[in-house]
A and B are shown apart, each in its own frame.
Chain A
Amino acid sequence: MPSEFALEIDNLTVEIAGAAYVRDVSLAVPEGQIHGLLGPNGAGKTTLLRSLYRAVAPTAGQIRAQGRAIGDHAHHEWARKLGALVQSAGLLDGLTPRDIVEIGLSVLELPHGEFDRRRQDALELAGLADKQDQPAGKLSGGELQRCYFAQLLACDPEIYVLDEPTNHLDLHYQLALLDEVRRRGRTVLMTMHDLNLAVRYCDHVYLMAGGRIVEHGRPLEVLNRQNLMTHYLVDGQFHGNVLSITGPIHQQSQRRRA
């Protein structure tokens, strides 16, 4: 049955070795919107994303893309529909940025005629056209992140899953690459530590704590002073789209929260 939502998650629980990292989470991202998962370290954001790209199997619950369950897709078919930018340690000896982008295109068996164009466009967007044949092992953390971003942009799936996409990126590429994602009008679910960027890009955000969604809504509504204090342990508030922070709140309140 077709659904108005590109990505739906119903009552998802993920346990790893007996410990619950995601508890009974439900959310739905309409076609073409950018939704953000926010929350402090250990809130379960990354685990939630991992279950979307099939790195962990959910203990309970449903994941659907365009109304069709994840389990009804072959692995490669799902990967063509939902692409992810993730954190993971590789062995890059003998690979170049060009290889990294090509690997994504080859694995997903994208039409051969478009292969070269997609690769070059993506490398240029990521500012790596002039470094495409250099050893990937010698790139800086930011350049490497741009390589993987370029791979995802070249594959251009219908749903983008981004785990801390701005990691290691300088300000220019943080904005340039996320602008590009938004320009393409794809459906996006991403985790984000930078709350200013979350406010700038997300149509809707979910605030997670202890594996659950504790609040969701428009970014500025969710990121109010009370939530910043309770979940991020900082005293701050948004003025327009800019977060101004007075400072971290004291350890005592941290203890009270625990």
Chain B
Amino acid sequence: MPARFSLLFPAALVAMVLAAVAGVLWGTADIGWADRLAILSRSEEAPRGLSLIVWQWRIPRVLAVGLIGAGLSLAGALMQTALRNPMADPYLMGLSSGASAAAVAAIIWLPAAVTDRLGVPLIAFLGAAAAFALTMGLSQRRGQPMDPLIVVLAGVAVSLMFQSLTAFFLYIGDPHATRNAMGWLMGTAAGTEWQEVPLLAVAVVALGLVFLTQANALDATLLGEERAQALGIRTARLRAMIFVATVLLTGLAVAVAGIVGFVGLIVPHMARLLVGARHRVLLPITMVLGATVLIAVDLMCRVLLAPEELPLGVLLALFAAPPFIIILRGLRRAV
């Protein structure tokens, strides 16, 4: 396994860098190669307008999308482990929709001073936390193990509720939002600004490292609650850490790009197929693959119908449908 990882991890890193470079070079605006080079080398001869597009729009956007992909994939992998549920994912469990509804409501109704003070990420975090609590509450059956399918159904119900709330808020409100309704409901990284990148970067990298130090405990968690406890793992504490991290990552992602679905579900499964389920190899691969996938899909969203842009959610759902069905069919009922 480590041998495989030592080949695949560098390969995934290269793919991520290539995707990022492509994401910067291509987009809705058609820029010639000479200009591209001039712009990237910050030459005096670079056209100012195009230079602005690359440096102010594309680069922060690619960085943000990469971090969101890595963060949501990390969140998905951690949730799947904590709940021992292959269908666990920030989107399917309603966290993204909760975060989105809270952010939209705050932007529309709260005075700008309050929203600015608290910050959209914090409000989105609270929305994600509320949705998560609701999903978990609906999935609990007293004295019975949580059925993976019931968790997914509860998540879908919570998700639908918050998405209709978001649509309702957007319909009756007058959104002076930085993004349009489509963005909040279907995800888009259009309009990402540099100032949104640092918080995301710190959170995603720091949480990635924190959970890498917990790799053994996470591995033990996969074997079952009681087995992990018998190995000396404080499972309740680890689970609480995972839930806070997941809600945080989802809130941050939604604050920047709205609802980005399925990455957190599909990418960890791809990673498990490649390197197995041991977290010291699974988490790094998951994060790099998540970044690569989302940067590539975002690029497709920009170029497929250029100069129009597709919402991220449309292409993601399209790509995610077949693996989603495979995972669903492999799901075992809780015993």
Q: Do A and B bind each other?
A: yes
Q: Which residues of A contact B (CB under 8 A)?
A: 50, 53-55, 74-80, 83-84, 86-96, 99-100, 103-104, 106-108, 148, 161
Q: Which residue of B lies closest to A78 (CB)?
A: B232
Which residues of B from 267 to 299 have beta carbons under 8 Å from A? 269, 272-273, 276-278, 282
Given A89-B145, A90-B227: A107 touches B220 (CB 8 Å cut-off)? yes
Given A89-B334, A91-B80, A106-B219: A55 touches B229 (CB 8 Å cut-off)? yes
Contact assessment for B226 and A86 in the assembled complex, using a CB-CB cutoff below 8 Å: yes
Contact assessment for A88 and B231 in the assembled complex, using a CB-CB cutoff below 8 Å: no
- Complex Cα gap A76–B229 (Å): 9
Contact assessment for A90 and B231 in the assembled complex, using a CB-CB cutoff below 8 Å: no
Interface flag for B216 (CB, 8 Å): yes
Give, as a whole number of angstroms, the nearest-CB distance from A28 to chain B. Answer: 21
* Residue of A94, A107, A161 ringed by the most chain B CB atoms within 10 A: A94
Given A75-B232, A107-B219, A108-B231: A95 touches B276 (CB 8 Å cut-off)? yes
Interface flag for B222 (CB, 8 Å): yes
- What residues on B are CB-neighbors of A94 within 8 Å? 272-273, 276-278, 282
Given A75-B233, A107-B233: A90 touches B222 (CB 8 Å cut-off)? yes
Total chain B interface residues with beta-carbon distance under 8 A:
33
- What residues on A are CB-neighbors of B226 within 8 Å? 50, 53, 55, 86-88
Q: Which residue of B lies closest to A133 (CB)?
A: B1
- Complex Cα gap A93–B81 (Å): 10
Contact assessment for B277 and A93 in the assembled complex, using a CB-CB cutoff below 8 Å: yes
A selection of 16 A-B contacts at a CB cut-off of 8 Å is A53-B226, A75-B233, A79-B232, A80-B232, A88-B226, A91-B85, A93-B272, A93-B277, A95-B276, A99-B276, A103-B219, A104-B220, A106-B219, A107-B231, A107-B232, A148-B227
- Complex Cα gap A55–B228 (Å): 9
- Complex Cα gap A21–B278 (Å): 36
- Complex Cα gap A84–B272 (Å): 28
- Complex Cα gap A88–B273 (Å): 24
- Complex Cα gap A76–B225 (Å): 15
Which residues of B from 64 to 88 have beta carbons under 8 Å from A? 80-81, 84-86
* Residue of B145, B233, B282, B334 ringed by the most chain A CB atoms within 10 A: B233
- What residues on B are CB-neighbors of A91 within 8 Å? 80-81, 84-86, 222
